[in-house]
Amino acid sequence: MSYCINPACPEPRNPASVMQCQACGTSLLIRDRYRVIKALGRGGFGATFLARDEILPGHPPCVVKQLQPSADSPHVLQMARELFQREAKILGKIGNHPQLPRLLDYFELHQEFFLVQEFINGATLQQEVKRGGAFSEAGVRQFLSEILPMMQYVHSYQIIHRDIKPANLIRREQDKKLVLIDFGAVKDKVNIAKANSSEQTALTAYAIGTPGYAPPEQMAMRPVYASDIYAIGVTCVYLLTGKSPKDLDYDPTTGELLWREQVHVSEHFAKVLEKMLDISVRHRYQSAEAILRDLDLEPYLESLAQNMAVQPSSGPLTGSGPSSGGTSGSLSDVTSPSSPTSRMAAAIRARRERSSTKSGTTGVGRGRGSLRSRSASMGYGDRPQLGDPSSGSLKKAGYLTADDIKTYYVKGMRDFSMQSLGKLNLSRVNLSECNFAQSQLQGVNFQGADLSSSNLGRANLVQASLKNARLERAYFNYANLEGADLRGACLTGACLTNANLRGANLCGADLTGAQISQDQLSMARTNWATIYPNGKRGLLQG
């Protein structure tokens, strides 16, 4: 089908083969190149369409954004042209980031302005919540771990997005990564002198943002970097509650969003959200880095403290696991006085002691703020109870299906330790940075899967298929890989210390920089295509 972009057209739908609209006569090929298929959205300043590039082989899809000034006066037209050129410039500047849409083309045609962008196939976070329900705390933490580095990148170019909301965040279908779209409201960071000029004020009046997601200073056309932080905070509340800001109450005296009673999150996470949502710019987080610092340390230390309490100490454990949360299977790494984890452990103990002194309690049984209860609420420590993927809590061991694993992963659940997952088909699935410590994975199909930086310490992987899997920096300490198929697997930097590799097939595997002994290699099958830890290829030398 071809779609006419003339807003006055009485019947914009046309057959795919025609060159001119049968209703109004408008050309159906924009710039003799882009054939519009359907309208994606329409606003006060233009419309967005899904189109195909008729010149490129295969006619790949793209998004055409049409800016239509609301008046014909030269002054308005010039401001529209500046807004258009600014968006094109910004998209061209930041579009190399893998989670931002690339600018493919831009041009002016008959006093209308067109931007052509990469088409992102997937569902928005708004659609995800409507279909699958609210996110768990772990799912929202995972969301923040993706959106905040994007904000760091955008802000590093002195750009304020100004319209972050669930409808502008798409989870790309092919890799499940979040992509931030719609940079029509972006604002270059300007100095005070420029901000006070009438030209700048008139220009920024074109796009303020979305009410409810935009903080007061942005609605007053004085946005700062922290304005994007506020919008991310409101998005977090939406993900946790399934309610848009217009459906939540406000404090009539301060204007603050009343969200706390609507969500069930740990005290630490609630304090982070409170600071993101502070009405006062002065007291709000000023950067994405500050939030990442507050979020990264606490859950890792909580998990570490829990693991220190339950980790078995049989055998001389060596090496180090992935830096993400979960059990590492390495007690010596925890207790080494010079290791980073020992310093973190000392920090959490000191913090816990200070908290205990203030509250007059000790140990892990301090009610809601205890290490055990707080780590469990984030998906660490104690085994989660029976649940379903939409609730964000894991089912009991032995009940998980491959679809459950995929759904949990998308919602931010990464801890699958001590689960019974034998013979599941998880081929070509992205499960990077997951925790499968001590899980039963015998016969599981991980062929072509991404398990990079995952923790598989003490896991049972007998006869598992890991052919062509991505296992960079994966942790296999004391894992049982007897008879496992690792042909063509990428094991660069992986820790295989003490792993059972009897009969494992390492033909064509890349072991560059991996921690593995000569005795272990002698028990496995290798060939001329195997790359050894020293980076050399060839048959195993005695």
Least Cα distance to 203 among 212, 195, 211, 191 occurs for 195
CB 278 within 8 A of CB 286: no
* C-alpha distance from residue 413 to each of 136, 296, 459 (Å): 9, 15, 18
Distance in angstroms (rounded) separating the CA atoms of residues 388 and 223: 41
Closest-CA residue to 462 (of 404, 423, 415, 418): 423
Cα distance between residue 148 and residue 167, in whole Å: 17
Measure Cα distances from 462 to 227, 466, 524 in Å.
Answer: 52, 11, 13
Q: Which of 32, 53, 72, 163 is catalytic?
A: 163
Is position 536 annotated in a ligand binding site?
no
How many angstroms separate the CA atoms of 290 and 287, rounded? 6
What beta strand segments (E) does 140-222 contain? 159-160, 169-172, 178-180, 187-188
Q: In this structure, which long-range contacts are made by residues 351-358, counting pairs with CB atoms below 8 Å and at least 24 apart in sequence?
A: 351/301, 352/305
Q: Coil, strand or helix: which one is 42?
A: strand
Distance separating alpha carbons of residues 116 and 51, to the nearest angstrom:
9
Tell me if residue 175 is catalytic. Answer: no
CA distance 527 to 80: 64
DSSP single-letter state for residue 369:
G
* CA distance linking residue 317 with residue 383, whole number of Å: 24
CA torsion angle 186 191 193 196 (round to 10): 30
Q: Let me know: does 4 contact 28? Beta carbons within 8 Å.
A: yes
> Is residue 19 within 8 Å of residue 28, measured between CB atoms?
yes
Q: How far apart are CA 157 and CA 526, in angstroms?
A: 48
Report the binding-site residues. Answer: 65
- Catalytic amino acids? 163
* Annotated binding-site positions for ATP: 65
